Amino acid sequence: MFPRMRRRTTVQSLITVATALLLIVGTARSLLDNFTLKSNDRQIFQFYSEPEVYRQRRPVFASSKDQIGESCNVSGGKWIWDNKTYPVYTEESCPYLSNQTCCQRNGRPDSFHQKWRWQPDGCNLPWFDPLKLLDILSGKRLMFIGDSIQRGQFESMVCMVQSVIPEGKKSFQTIPTMEIFKAEEYNASIEFYWAPFIVESISDHATNHTVLKRLVYLDSITNQGKSWQGVDMLVFESYAWWIHGSSDDIKEYNVTTAYRWALETWANWLESNINPLTQKVYFMSMSPKHLRSWEWKPGSNENCFNESYPIQGSYWGTGSSFTIMKIIQDILQELKIDVTFLNITQMSEYRKDAHTSVYGERRGIPLTKEQRADPKKFADCMHWCLPGVPDTWNEILYAHLLQNHRNFL
């Protein structure tokens, strides 16, 4: 009798404990659901539709698979043909592309340049997930600052993200010196700020600026800096406007001295205005030009026009300056705050095939039929088609944003 009573008592105790646990779990779940439904905080859960519908999204966190190791040099590698997963968007799917970057819309007959994937040596870039990026950007601002090359990277990032945002939940606004894309439900923005020299100049109006005559105020940055204060993630770039035209037309010493002075002014502004606990700063290396085909095809005398494939093997053209690269590295090493240097120059050097060439615009106007027939004079071998190379730059930026997000968590 006593053994049976002990067993019955044990069973009853287990039932009591199990019931209590179910009540606790149920109460906790109810509290969590209530918190989730009432909160618009997107750091934990996301919703595909408007907040009042309360349809739960999957949690989006940066995992260990999204990491790039410290030993991973993403700037070294090769371009791999990948027509199954690239491009990640099309001209037709993204209404935010400018005419300058829409090469196929402007008559380019092939799309080969869209279907190459960058493969770093010894490691992999994480696959771009727009929902993860929106999770990181929730309640934040990501701003690209620079010239028209940087505007192309801005447009690329908008196109890579916008497809997962429902209609009516996104907006695009152009104001003087700025373009702003907003993901309304996430309270997130991706922005572009026109500042071709970073410091102040007479070319600081985004559309009404002089190209041939340039006056740069090397020690002045206050006016632009007011628009950068408090921005969560700042991505700077400045090169093309310093070295514009052939290298025979400029005095290299004067340019490099002025460039160093400008970056010192920028560095002083960063140290006085950036809170490293809440803000992240990135600096893009120079975007190369492909003006002289003899550099990759000895004996020829053309440019990037009619090129369909990347350069194979080692290559560094005259469109990029080691001296400027050294100045950037020196300034960043002397800074008292951390700035992440995104070296996209070498990988872009191989891509003679991906420029807008005669399939873009010249000062906001599409090339005429006669101009397209004269690529030696009118081909643009500085700007990039989209989809294209700037998408890879953003994949690298995305990898660093994920890494920083994971470290923060």
Gap between the Cα atoms of 355 and 317, Å rounded: 15
Task: Name beta bridge partners: 172.
Answer: 181
Residue 406: pLDDT band with limits 50, 70, 90: low
Catalytic residue selected from 203, 383, 391, 405: 383
Quick check: 43 and 409 in contact, CB under 8 A?
no
- Rounded to an integer, the average pLDDT of 311-319 is 93
357 is catalytic: no
Between residues 215 and 43, the one the model is more confident about: 215
pLDDT recorded at residue 61: 64
300 is catalytic: no
pLDDT recorded at residue 33: 41
Catalytic residue selected from 98, 148, 220, 227: 148
Lowest-pLDDT choice from 70-74, 181-185, 329-333: 70-74
Lowest-pLDDT choice from 53-57, 163-167, 267-271, 311-315: 53-57
Quick check: 133 and 66 in contact, CB under 8 A?
no
The CB density around residue 14, as the number of other CB atoms within 10 Å, is 10
63 is catalytic: no
Catalytic residue selected from 66, 135, 147, 380: 380
pLDDT recorded at residue 176: 86
How do residues 31-55 score in pLDDT, each as one tens digit?
A: 444 433 333 333 323 333 333 333 3
